[in-house]
Amino acid sequence: MDRVGILVVSKSLSAAGIIDAFSRSGYKPEFYVVERQVNPFNFERAKVHQVIPDLNVADVAKFARTHRSKLSFGLTDTEDFIVAGGRDVVERESGVPMLCVTGKYAVEKSKADQRVLFERLFKDANPRYAIFDPAKYSSPASAVTAFRRFASELREPVIKPDAPARGAGVGVWGQEFSDEDGMVSFFRNVYSKGVVVVEERLDGEESSFQALSDGRHFIVAPQTRDYKRALDGNKGKLTGGMGSYRDATAKLPFVTQPEWDSVVGQEKDAFRKWKGRGSNPELRGFVLYDALMHTGHGFKILERNSRGGNTEQLCLFTTIEDDLVDVCFRMSEGLLRGIKFSRKASVVTCVVPLGYGLEGVAVEGGEKIDLRPAYALQRRTEGLRVYPMDIALRDGATYLGTSRSAAIVGVADDLEDARLVSLAGTDSLKGPVRSRRDVASRLDLERSAAHTKELRRRKVSA
What beta strand segments (E) does 241-354 contain?
Answer: 243-246, 284-295, 298-305, 345-353
Name, in order, each residue with C-beta under 8 angstroms of 165's C-beta and a sequence gap of 6 or more.
none
Residue 42 lies in a domain: yes
Per the DSSP assignment, residues forming a β-bridge with 35 are 10, 51
Domain finish residue from 100, 115, 140: 100
Are residue 211 and residue 174 in the same domain, yes or no? no
CB atoms within 10 A of CB 128: 13
The angle that helices 324-333 and 15-23 make with each other, rounded to 10 degrees, is: 100
Whichever domain contains 34, its CATH number is 3.40.50.20
Are residue 348 and residue 400 in the same domain, yes or no? yes
pLDDT value, residue 255: 97
Are residue 223 and residue 195 in the same domain, yes or no? no
CB atoms within 10 A of CB 164: 20
Are residue 158 and residue 294 in the same domain, yes or no? no
Are residue 247 and residue 211 in the same domain, yes or no? yes
Q: Give the chain's domain count.
A: 3
Compute CA 411 distance to the chain's CA centroid, rounded to the nearest angstrom.
19
Query: How far is residue 181 from each of residues 154, 177, 184, 229, 239, measured CA to CA in Å?
Result: 16, 8, 5, 24, 24
Phi and psi dihedrals of 361, rounded to 5?
-110, 125
Find the Cα–Cα–Cα–Cα dihedral 251, 257, 258, 259, rounded to 10°: -30
Cβ(256)–Cβ(294) under 8 Å?
A: no
Are residue 304 and residue 414 in the same domain, yes or no? yes
Per-residue model confidence as pLDDT tens digits over 26-44: 999 999 999 999 999 999 9
Cβ(79)–Cβ(102) under 8 Å?
A: no
Burial of 372 (0-12, 13-18, 19+ CB in 10 A): exposed
Residue 137 lies in a domain: yes
pLDDT value, residue 168: 57
CB atoms within 10 A of CB 440: 28
| Rama region for 211: left / alpha / beta (φ>0; ψ in -120 to 50; rest) | beta
Are residue 192 and residue 217 in the same domain, yes or no? no
DSSP state of 186: H
Rounded CA separation 16/10 (Å): 9
Task: Enumerate residue ranges in the chain where pLDDT < 50.
Answer: none
Are residue 192 and residue 228 in the same domain, yes or no? no
Domain finish residue from 200, 228, 252: 200
Name, in order, each residue with C-beta under 8 angstroms of 275's C-beta and a sequence gap of 6 or more.
213, 215, 216, 283
Whichever domain contains 382, its CATH number is 3.30.470.20
Rounded CA separation 423/457 (Å): 35
Residue 114 lies in a domain: no
Rounded CA separation 25/128 (Å): 45
pLDDT value, residue 213: 98
Burial of 447 (0-12, 13-18, 19+ CB in 10 A): middle
What beta strand segments (E) does 202-297 contain?
Answer: 205-214, 218-220, 225-226, 229-231, 235-238, 243-246, 284-295
Rounded CA separation 300/124 (Å): 8
Name the residue type at position 54: D
Are residue 194 and residue 282 in the same domain, yes or no? no
Q: In 3D, which of 284, 246, 310, 348 has the Cα closest to residue 77?
A: 310
Residue 456 lies in a domain: no
412-416 CB contacts, 8 Å cutoff, 24+ apart: 412/344, 412/345, 412/383, 413/248, 413/344, 413/345, 414/248, 414/345, 415/245, 415/247, 415/248, 415/253, 415/345, 415/347, 415/440, 415/445, 416/440, 416/442
Are residue 211 and residue 195 in the same domain, yes or no? no
Domain finish residue from 200, 218, 235: 200
pLDDT value, residue 459: 77
Residue 288 lies in a domain: yes
Are residue 170 and residue 229 in the same domain, yes or no? no
pLDDT value, residue 1: 57
Cβ(367)–Cβ(432) under 8 Å?
A: yes
- Residue 37 structural domain: 3-100
Per-residue model confidence as pLDDT tens digits over 52-77: 999 999 999 999 999 999 999 999 99
Whichever domain contains 168, its CATH number is 3.30.1490
Residues in the chain: 462
Residue 117 lies in a domain: no
Are residue 183 and residue 230 in the same domain, yes or no? no
Residue 116 lies in a domain: no
Query: How far is residue 221 from each of residues 113, 117, 121, 224, measured CA to CA in Å?
Result: 25, 22, 20, 9
pLDDT value, residue 337: 96
Query: How far is residue 149 from each of residues 130, 155, 161, measured CA to CA in Å?
Result: 11, 10, 19
Residue 453 lies in a domain: no
